[in-house]
Structure 1
Amino acid sequence: MSSEQIERRLQKLNTMRSNGMNVYPERFLKNYELYEASLLEDGTEDVRTAGRITSIRSFSKLSFITISDIQGSLQLLLNKQEAGEELFSQFHQLIDIGDFIGVEGKMYTTKSGEKTLRIETYEFLGKALKPLPEKWHGLTNIELRYRQRYLDMIMTKETKNRVLIRSKLIQSVRRFFEDYNFIEVETPILQHTSSGALAKPFTTYHNALDTELNLRIAPETYLKRLIVGGFTKIFEVAKCFRNEGTSPQHLQEFTMVEGYAAYWNYQDTMKFMREMLMDVLVKTFNTTTITLGEQTIDFSEQWEVVSFRDIIFRNTGIDINLFPDVKDLLQETERRNIKLDNAEIENMGRGNFIDHLYKKTCRPLIVKPTFLVQHPIDLSPLARANDENPLLTDRFQLVVNGAEIINAYSELVDPVEQRRRLENQALLKSSGDAEAMEMDEEYLAAMEHGMPPISGWGFGIDRLLMVLTDCATIKDCVYFPLTKKI
């Protein structure tokens, strides 16, 4: 972008103002959105619509113009004879690609088959002082596309489609829960502890209260307080924050949907989540079949259910049940030449170590929808222990194409057992396990007032969108991914 280009546009803006034009008018009355106008029958009159100019093809007595917005585009025909000499000349002298116009006219179809509006009159609706980029695609522009996402949405069809799918996905999730009489709620982002997941929090400081606080890593413990308070079916679309490394599947700021149902167990939730995902696929993509890489997956087929122990044994030959001590388990992975590539591996508790082993050796190999069950108890501090084997939890994760997209439990509602587990987590944290949970006395106090049986679940909107659109990186699945400050 040259300073000369900006200067020319500023000169045009000044000319418009000196001619008495309102360069930034307050409104334009439309009767059709762009995508609606593009579907109208030929001969439809008095069509009023508006958008940003994204292309101009000019000839001596006519011009073809394309105007666009996030949902669609429409070709316009500006004919000197039909619009008049003044509007025709004004357009070519003062208006640029990137500017906004409102138009009124009549629909027809060109010889090449493109729906087009014949402009009878137009109104100028806004001057762009900087031009749109001429070239945008390519690896060299990825960081710029993230920094200037608004331009990426204008210039990149895949980005435009994905953000629209994201909005539709969230809408369909909300409607599904509401159809089953779940109530949407909100819980605090600023919290005194970092409960609800095994993760490292962001910290901040509250000046008025003179206290350090964390940004929430999950809404779990506050949602459960609402169950104590009498709610029975709730969910939240929650912004969460985890101060950990980024990867193609991870963001430090992400959107989670978390919900709880009193009197359910995790098997009820397995059925419910399968039904939800099928409903979301149909409402968002009009199909239950998704292509992931070279493989087509029909989500309506049976989903495999496999235990944590079995999938690790299948892929590594290690039976984690034979290694109750984390040091012995570490030695066994080293004996088998399994490289885990984590500088903090020796400080991890057994649960986090097993989870890391699974993520490195097993999860990338799972493509079709798979329920992973029977997690070790030390990996799930807030989950209910299995009645038959107290070393395992009543929990599942749904994994698709190497990514965990749903995590769910039968929840632990015994306050004495919960205190014992959080005390163990606090010991791990003091020993160097940065992702272990903190003690949370306020949550324990709520539990001690009594909880019914509960099952809960959580899933990331960004991760789900990434998987269902077969996207290579999760950054492409949020509106404004975080980038380094220039």
Structure 2
Amino acid sequence: MPYSDPLIQERIRKINEIKKLGVQPYAKTHFHISNNTQEILEAAKNSELREIKEIQAEANINISIAGRVVLYRSMGKLAFAQIQDEFGRLQVCFQKDQFTVEELNEEEKSPAKFIEKLVDLGDFIGLTGEIFKTNHGELTLFVKHVRFLSKALRPMPEKFHGIASQETMYRERNLDLMTNQNTMNRFKLRSKMVHEIRSFFHDKEFLEIETPILQSQAGGAMAKVFNTHHNALDQDMVLRIASELDNKRVIGGGMNKIFEICKDFRNEGTDPSHLQEFTMLEWYAAYADIDDNKRWTEEMLHRVCKNVFKKDIFQVSDTEGNITEINFGEKFAEARFPDLLKEFADLDMFTASDDEVLECAKKVGVEKIEGVGRANLLDDIYKKTARCKLI
């Protein structure tokens, strides 16, 4: 089916034009990258860079980068662009008659025209050249060679400096990653954190396991399920809400220490702290007790902070905006659930009647009360009054 969007149609026209000039619009072979943008900028700060006139006379091709074109402006014989990779952005400079485009037909005498007319924002290109500093002090790659890597059919978002809509950020993470370096950094931090968590448990001689997502009956927690159907078995099934029961069966089967980083699914409301699909870490150890688990929790978090964030102390704000320091290098403070209810909700869970628990829940703003049991109401009261003030 042909594209109806005129902007996409125009980019398809450019693809055909690029092919006519002998250039592959989607590169088939490897492009060598010597450095990413962050490495280039860091290295250049402590390097003695040549003047632009020296480079124009004879450039040293010592840098090779690849990325997405996110900005382009032509200034006569000079054109400047910004190339973005997953680490940041770098300005690049094209000077007419000073660079070549790989695969471009010999009869096509103007590589500069190729860049200006056929390369769009969002396209991926590979560049080689030498770093210099402009009169304004900006580190820039003087381009000597261009290789076209990939034509983007869809135009970049209009607001390239960040997506304002929170819903769009969640639903279209590719656009969020494309336009928001902070989002990219969060993905990297998450990957490093998961790596450190795995390394911690492996070092403690835990065995990582995987348990089924499709189950005949949900268990291990109280939550609404996602229903599905297994065609081959002609059997109704659900997506798991927790891996707890299967993990415990593995312990019962004879393994001593296990952990699982797993996807769970709960068909309930969504807010920033609750998603229908989420990642859960569970671990179990035979012959261990609550003190072992508390110690492992402290050690794991300390390791993640030290190896990922390079620090133990963090500043956080509470619901009232007060700044508090948390030190993950120290032993954690401990509190009992009944004491927290007494302190923050003025409720004695052992002596309070069911009616008093119900009245307390209404008073602190628990939304769902009808049909909720005493234990769950106590938990909801704790979440409303105490949990947000533990730090």
Normalising by structure 1, report the TM-score: 0.69
1:341 equivalent in structure 2: 367
Match of 2:125 among 98, 101, 112: 101
Higher relative contact order (CA 8 A, sep 6+): 1
Q: Are 2:34 and 1:25 equivalent residues in the alignment? A: no
Mapped to 2, the partners of 1:200 and 1:299 lie a distance apart of 35
Which residue identity does 1:24 align to in structure 2? Y
Mapped to 1, the partners of 2:316 and 2:114 lie a distance apart of 50
Q: Are 2:357 and 1:329 equivalent residues in the alignment? A: yes
Q: 1:139 to 1:72 in 2, by over 3 A?
A: closer
Mapped to 2, the partners of 1:346 and 1:60 lie a distance apart of 72
Mapped to 2, the partners of 1:327 and 1:211 lie a distance apart of 43
Mapped to 1, the partners of 2:383 and 2:157 lie a distance apart of 40
- Structure 1 residue 95: deviation in Å? 0.7
Which residue identity does 1:341 align to in structure 2? E
Q: Is the 8 A contact 1:32 1:48 kept in 2?
A: yes
Match of 2:147 among 123, 127, 130: 123
- Structure 1 residue 167: deviation in Å? 1.2
Q: Are 2:37 and 1:11 equivalent residues in the alignment? A: no
1:371 equivalent in structure 2: none
- Structure 1 residue 58: deviation in Å? 2.0
Please show how residues 434-449 of structure 1 align to structure 2 within 5 Å. Answer: none
Q: Is the 8 A contact 2:163 2:179 kept in 1?
A: no
Mapped to 2, the partners of 1:318 and 1:137 lie a distance apart of 49
- Structure 1 residue 237: deviation in Å? 1.1
Please show how residues 81-480 of structure 1 align to structure 2 within 5 Å. Answer: 81-83=97-99, 86-135=110-159, 141-293=165-317, 294-323=323-352, 326-327=354-355, 329-331=357-359, 333=361, 337-342=363-368, 345-366=369-390, 368=391
**Cα deviations by residue, 1:169-213 (Å, 9 ceiling, x for unpaired):** 111111111222222110000112221122222222212222221
Mapped to 2, the partners of 1:209 and 1:10 lie a distance apart of 46
**Percent identity between the aligned chains?**
39
Q: 1:112 to 1:265 in 2, by over 3 A?
A: farther
Q: 1:24 to 1:327 in 2, by over 3 A?
A: same
Q: Are 2:106 and 1:77 equivalent residues in the alignment? A: no
Mapped to 1, the partners of 2:152 and 2:361 lie a distance apart of 59
Mapped to 1, the partners of 2:138 and 2:255 lie a distance apart of 54
SS of the aligned residue for 1:321 comes to coil
Q: Is the 8 A contact 1:38 1:73 kept in 2?
A: no
SS of the aligned residue for 1:318 comes to coil
Mapped to 2, the partners of 1:364 and 1:125 lie a distance apart of 50
Mapped to 2, the partners of 1:322 and 1:110 lie a distance apart of 75
Mapped to 1, the partners of 2:316 and 2:226 lie a distance apart of 34
Mapped to 1, the partners of 2:173 and 2:163 lie a distance apart of 15
Q: Is the 8 A contact 2:98 2:144 kept in 1?
A: yes
Q: 1:124 to 1:139 in 2, by over 3 A?
A: closer
**Cα deviations by residue, 1:132-179 (Å, 9 ceiling, x for unpaired):** 123156885222232322111111122122112111111111111122
Unaligned 5+ runs, structure 1: 369-486
SS of the aligned residue for 1:82 comes to coil
Q: Is the 8 A contact 2:163 2:176 kept in 1?
A: no
Q: Is the 8 A contact 2:345 2:381 kept in 1?
A: no
Mapped to 2, the partners of 1:247 and 1:53 lie a distance apart of 35
SS of the aligned residue for 1:116 comes to strand
Segment of structure 1 superposing worse, 232-241 or 302-311 = 302-311
SS of the aligned residue for 1:360 comes to helix
Q: Is the 8 A contact 2:80 2:91 kept in 1?
A: yes
Q: 1:93 to 1:355 in 2, by over 3 A?
A: same
Q: 1:190 to 1:326 in 2, by over 3 A?
A: farther
SS of the aligned residue for 2:65 comes to strand
Q: Is the 8 A contact 1:220 1:258 kept in 2?
A: yes
Normalising by structure 2, report the TM-score: 0.85
Which residue identity does 1:36 align to in structure 2? E
Segment of structure 1 superposing worse, 351-360 or 72-81 = 72-81
Q: Are 2:44 and 1:52 equivalent residues in the alignment? A: no
